[in-house]
Amino acid sequence: MIQLLNLMNLRALVFAIGLAMPLAFTPGPAPAEPAPAAAWPRAGIRAGIAMHGEPATTPDLAHRRYVNPDAPKGGRLVTGLPGTFDTLNPFVVRGLAIPGARPYLHETLLTRSYDEPFTLYPQIARGVEVPEDRSWVIFHVDPRARFSDGRRITADDVLFSWELLRDRGRPNHRTYYRKVQRADRIDELTVRFDLAGAQDRELPLILGLMPILPRHAIDPATFEDTTLTPLVGSGPYTVAEIRPGESVTLKRDPNWWGRDLPINRGLFNFDEIRFDFYRDSNTLFEAFKKGLVDFRSETDPGLWAAGYDFPAMREGRVVRDTIHPGTPKGIRGLAMNVRRPVFQDVRMREALGLLFDFEWTDRSLYAGGFARTLSIFEDSELSARLRPADPEERALLAKVGGAIRQDILDGRYDAPVSDGSGGDRNRLREAIGLFRAAGWELKDGVLRNRATGEPFGFELLVVTREQERLALTYQRFLRRAGIAMRVRTVDAVQYDRRVRDYDFDMIDYRWWNVSLSPGNEQAFYWGSEAGRSPGSRNVAGIADPAADRLIAAIVEARSHRDLVAAARALDRVLMSGFYWVPLFHQPAQWIARWNHVGIPAESSVSGYLSETWWREEPGGATRQ
């Protein structure tokens, strides 16, 4: 449930001002303190930037709507996570990092407002300059900004971070940062990025979200290795204790440079954050019931409906909140790896979707608590689901050469609906017809290739018991069509490696998170280049030039109307490809918490944010 970016490559990048940043480990002496700054802000320098239009507010606003500005400081928050971890570096592909820890440890040049689609305000950078065509961007580093070891953050650290992540970071960082034509150190606290030729209006914001790493404390030669040595950051916490594979404890940095910035008011209220890891979700739920974990984000509607009848809940010591985010729900599906010959015929992919009985599954496994998913922008104005394409969108599709089925173009197509019996004959008959058209016949209870006699089968890779339960249900549905699907359950480390290397036939995938302002991350999810790069989220291996062009149209959109047209067009292209068996989504966020965890009275558009919570006084069970 929680939320991440990418795109093409361009040219080699060169530093100017006569200095090329070396990519070697050269600690050197600490820089001298800067001369007193001139009056701030200066003309032409912005205190915020929005993807479309202007920022809704200013960074010195007393506080944001979704925080409690008077939240008390102190106490500890224990977060429970299933699985394990083997690295403290979240910026590289190798290893299993700790989900959710990065915002506590590492700051970016600018920071998000979670009540706007995509607007950034100062964090490490106190100001930004950008022209109307966004062909360059200048960041002015706050002279107060410090790493946790006390060293000042300078323009050299910004350039070092950009170069390091461009060459050695995760695929999304490499893709984004290679689009920069040139990077210049203007002075000790000022950096200019030349974006000429990128044709990417989102790129200044993506660079604004670049994490800043210390040049003096990182060896690029070993940066991509897994490590349990914490990276030096500039965030509100530092790593205090590591129990390998079991837990990591963060403690508030009393010298955090940004603690008094207005943008941080009401945030990061606990003295200590601990991430505890559990073998599986059932063990984690039992730990929550016993008070070993402070809160739980529930994803099982059956458990939400009937599994919380335990003493602490009845006594009011545990409370539940239902939160309705304003963002798209995203897509969860059984993703087919179209790199494999078995999935290369779109008719077979559509047939596999017809065989999944959502109505029976939702009622029998999940107490009817889920809603069916089809669109990548589900439950938002960006979705093409049951919406006919307007003239603007049709013109865009014609321009990019998108092959869209007529019923999808007209808004008549929807996810398959069964009779809920678990054995709908009409859906089975329709699927068999598609298999037959693709050259496969059902003979003696086995679906075989008409030319070779080869039986149709594949493997569904899973990592959790919940995924395994769903996979076994789907296996039963497929058996009726003569398909032998094998279910393979592996541990978290093996699963991560196989997904990273696209070494699977089908997986249960739910990490295509989207916002109200989609952009470069769409290429990381669906782009052809990402599908050829290990570690991307294009797990299906989609390689459609029309999708690539529509992603570019999303990035280049200059108005909200243009964005909506491009997003819906991309949605239709992906629907027409049938790259996954569409599954379901939660209609809301379900949060259970012990009553010593206080949360604000209002949620952000993005939903709950644990960095806004605080340690409540005994008996304080209500939202403040």
Please report which confidence band the pLDDT of residue 519 belongs to, taking 50, 70 and 90 as the band edges.
confident
Please report which confidence band the pLDDT of residue 512 belongs to, taking 50, 70 and 90 as the band edges.
low
Residue ranges of domains in the chain: 331-585
Q: What is the pTM of this model?
A: 0.77
Whether 377 and 571 have beta carbons less than 8 Å apart is answered as yes
In 189-233, alpha helices (H): 203-208
User: According to the model, what pLDDT value does residue 197 have?
Assistant: 87
Distances from the Cα of 618 to the Cαs of 316, 369, 422, 595, 596, in angstroms?
Answer: 12, 33, 49, 8, 6
With pLDDT > 70 as the criterion, what percentage of the chain qualifies? 91
Q: What is the phi/psi pair of residue 569, to 5°?
A: -65, -45
The neighbour count for residue 323, using CB atoms within 10 Å, is: 16
pLDDT at 518 over 60: yes
User: According to the model, what pLDDT value does residue 35 have?
Assistant: 41
Could you say which DSSP state residue 263 is in? G
79: three-class secondary structure by DSSP: strand
pLDDT at 590 over 70: yes
With pLDDT > 90 as the criterion, what percentage of the chain qualifies? 78
Please report which confidence band the pLDDT of residue 152 belongs to, taking 50, 70 and 90 as the band edges.
very high
Q: What is the pLDDT of residues 111-133, one digit of tens each?
A: 998 888 889 999 999 999 999 99
pLDDT at 203 over 80: yes
User: According to the model, what pLDDT value does residue 19 have?
Assistant: 30
> Rounded to whole angstroms, how far apart are CA atoms 437 and 423?
22
Please report which confidence band the pLDDT of residue 598 belongs to, taking 50, 70 and 90 as the band edges.
very high
* Across 66-80, average pLDDT: 95
State both tokens at 355.
Answer: 């065989």
User: According to the model, what pLDDT value does residue 493 have?
Assistant: 87
pLDDT at 16 over 60: no
State both tokens at 123.
Answer: 């964090």
Please report which confidence band the pLDDT of residue 492 belongs to, taking 50, 70 and 90 as the band edges.
confident
User: According to the model, what pLDDT value does residue 18 have?
Assistant: 32
pLDDT at 514 over 90: no
DSSP one-letter string for 572-584? HHHHHHT-EEE-E
User: According to the model, what pLDDT value does residue 516 have?
Assistant: 84
The neighbour count for residue 18, using CB atoms within 10 Å, is: 6
* Across 67-91, average pLDDT: 95
User: According to the model, what pLDDT value does residue 41 have?
Assistant: 57
Residue 114's contacts (CB-CB under 8 Å, 6 or more residues apart) are 64, 66, 604, 605, 606, 609
Please report which confidence band the pLDDT of residue 207 belongs to, taking 50, 70 and 90 as the band edges.
very high
User: According to the model, what pLDDT value does residue 558 have?
Assistant: 85
Please report which confidence band the pLDDT of residue 139 belongs to, taking 50, 70 and 90 as the band edges.
very high
Please tell me the least confidently modeled range out of 40-44, 52-56, 342-346, 356-360: 40-44
Burial classification of residue 19, based on how many CB atoms lie within 10 Å of its CB (0-12 exposed, 13-18 middle, 19 or more buried): exposed
pLDDT at 445 over 90: yes
The per-residue pLDDT of the chain, averaged, comes to 90
Distances from the Cα of 331 to the Cαs of 175, 355, 403, in angstroms?
Answer: 23, 19, 21
pLDDT at 570 over 60: yes
> Rounded to whole angstroms, how far apart are CA atoms 291 and 215?
41
Largest interatomic CA distance in the chain: 84
Residue 578's contacts (CB-CB under 8 Å, 6 or more residues apart) are 346, 349, 350, 353
Architecture of domain 331-585: Roll (3.10)
pLDDT at 412 over 80: yes
> Rounded to whole angstroms, how far apart are CA atoms 473 and 580?
16
User: According to the model, what pLDDT value does residue 40 have?
Assistant: 52
Q: What is the pLDDT of residues 228-285, one digit of tens each?
A: 999 999 999 999 999 999 999 999 999 999 999 989 999 999 999 999 999 888 999 9
> Rounded to whole angstroms, how far apart are CA atoms 122 and 112?
9
Contacts 24+ apart (CB under 8 A), 29-33: 30/151, 30/152, 30/216, 31/151, 31/152, 31/154, 31/156, 31/188, 33/152
Q: What is the pLDDT of residues 168-186, one digit of tens each?
A: 999 889 989 999 999 999 9
pLDDT at 511 over 70: no
Could you say which DSSP state residue 189 is in? T
> Rounded to whole angstroms, how far apart are CA atoms 389 and 480?
36
